[in-house]
């Protein structure tokens, strides 16, 4: 009734789950339970969006991976917060052995990805908007190289991190203290998250900014708004 002819719905690549046997694509079927309510509710919202497809509304779904870059430093920009915290010497932890892989996509690529999804996206299709697959060791090595800040990093066993997270949840329950990490998030660290954006690259023209370039732009921005990152 409002004359809306096409909708681009923003979901998350987290709905597909980790890359247990193969790299994650739009055809990947989740084989483990959801780690976060964010993933679960996005999956529910996708199902809701698909109902509108049955009503002949042109709906395209995009699934961003871990987004980083200039922007409001909120929970949705947690990767940038982690970069900032490392530079300031406040983040010293590498989860597990540091070899767990995540996919990191620069914010500009996400903005452009939404635009081209509106312009070229096919009705009823999903498109992963991803970036670089990189493990924690390489992640922090690149941040160190770009920023020039070298901090000693502690590789914490996931079992230890899990115990700490349960203790933090207890403090939350007793005193209302906001937990720095949750058991669900620690369990997520135990998996690989290799993701492919080839479908979006081929059908939409999605272009990926490599992590070193994106991290450089992010750190330049952080320094411009934080005067050398001296402030918290």
pLDDT-derived band at 227, boundaries 50, 70, 90 = low
Q: Is the pLDDT of residue 171 over 80?
A: yes
Q: Is the pLDDT of residue 3 over 90?
A: no
- In this prediction, residues 176-182 reach a mean pLDDT of 84
Residue 229 is predicted with a pLDDT of 65
3-state SS, one letter per residue, for 162-190: HHHHHHHHHHHHHHCCCCCCCHHHHHHHC
Structure tokens at 25: 């694509």
Residue 1 is predicted with a pLDDT of 65
Residue 228 is predicted with a pLDDT of 53
Assess if CATH 3.40.50.720 describes domain 6-214: yes
- Considering only 89-93, 109-113, 117-121, which range has the smallest mean pLDDT? 89-93
Residue 181 is predicted with a pLDDT of 84
Class of residue 120 by CB neighbours under 10 A (exposed 0-12, middle 13-18, buried 19+): middle
What pTM was estimated for this model as a whole? 0.92
Q: Is the pLDDT of residue 232 over 50?
A: no
Alpha-carbon span 53 to 75, nearest angstrom: 31
**Cβ–Cβ < 8 Å for 33, 18:** no
pLDDT tens per residue, range 41-54: 999 999 999 898 88
Segments making up each domain of the chain, as ranges: 6-214
DSSP E strand boundaries for 74-178: 93-95, 101-106, 126-129, 132-135, 154-156
Alpha-carbon span 228 to 216, nearest angstrom: 14
Helix (H, G, I), strand (E, B) or coil at 76: helix
CA dist list (Å): 92 to 86, 146, 149, 170: 7, 17, 12, 23
């Amino acid at each position: 009734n409002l004359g809306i002819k096409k909708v681009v719905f923003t979901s998350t690549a987290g709905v597909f789950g980790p890359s247990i046997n193969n790299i994650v694509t739009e055809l990947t079927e989740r084989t483990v339970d959801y780690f976060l309510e964010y993933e679960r509710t996005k999956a529910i919202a996708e199902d809701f969006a698909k109902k509108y497809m049955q009503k002949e509304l042109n709906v395209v779904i995009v699934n961003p991976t871990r987004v980083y870059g200039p922007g409001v430093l909120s929970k949705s920009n947690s990767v940038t917060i982690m970069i900032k915290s490392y530079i300031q010497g406040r983040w010293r932890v590498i989860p597990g052995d540091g070899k767990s892989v995540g996919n990191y996509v620069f914010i500009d690529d996400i903005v452009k990805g939404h635009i081209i999804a509106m312009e070229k996206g096919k009705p009823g299709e999903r498109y992963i908007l991803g970036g670089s697959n990189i493990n924690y060791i390489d992640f922090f090595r690149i941040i160190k190289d770009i920023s020039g800040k070298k901090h000693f990093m502690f590789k914490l066993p996931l079992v230890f991190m899990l115990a700490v997270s349960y203790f933090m949840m207890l403090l939350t329950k007793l005193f209302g203290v906001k937990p720095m990490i949750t058991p669900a998030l620690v369990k997520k660290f135990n998996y690989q998250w290799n993701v492919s954006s080839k479908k979006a690259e081929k059908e939409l023209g999605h272009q990926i900014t490599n992590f070193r370039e994106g991290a450089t732009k992010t750190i330049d921005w952080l320094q411009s708004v934080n005067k050398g990152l001296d402030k918290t």
